[in-house]
Amino acid sequence: MYARTILIRALDCIAAEGYVSKDAALVAGTQSTAQRVASSLEINPELSSHEVDQYGPRADEIIAWIMSYTGDDEYLSKCKWAVETADSTPAKTFGYITSLVQSYARYLSSSIGLDKVTAPDSFAGDPGARLEDHECEVINVQALQGYHKVSLVDRSGHLITYTVNNNAKKALTIPKIGDKVSVSASVYRNKFSTPFETTLSRPIIKRI
> For residue range 145-167, what is the model confidence (pLDDT) as tens digits?
889 999 999 999 999 999 998 88
Q: Is 80 exceeded by the pLDDT of residue 169?
A: no
Residue 136 has φ and ψ, to the nearest 5°, of -145, 165
Query: Per-residue pLDDT averaged across 1-14, rounded?
Result: 95
For 124, half-sphere exposure in the C-beta direction (CA atoms, 13 angstrom radius) is 32
Give the mean pLDDT of the chain: 93
44, 72, 125, 127, 186 from 131: Cα distances, Å: 58, 30, 8, 11, 6
Which residues, including other chains, have CB under 8 Å from residue 151's CB and lie 6 or more apart? 110, 112, 113, 138, 139, 140, 141, 142, 159, 160, 161
Q: What is the pLDDT of residues 121-137, one digit of tens each?
A: 999 999 999 999 999 99
| Domain coordinates in residue numbering, the chain | 2-111, 114-207
| CATH number of this structure's domain 114-207 | 2.40.50.140
Query: Per-residue pLDDT averaged across 8-14, rounded?
Result: 96
Q: What is the pLDDT of residues 33-91, one digit of tens each?
A: 999 999 999 999 999 999 999 999 999 999 999 999 987 889 999 999 999 999 998 88
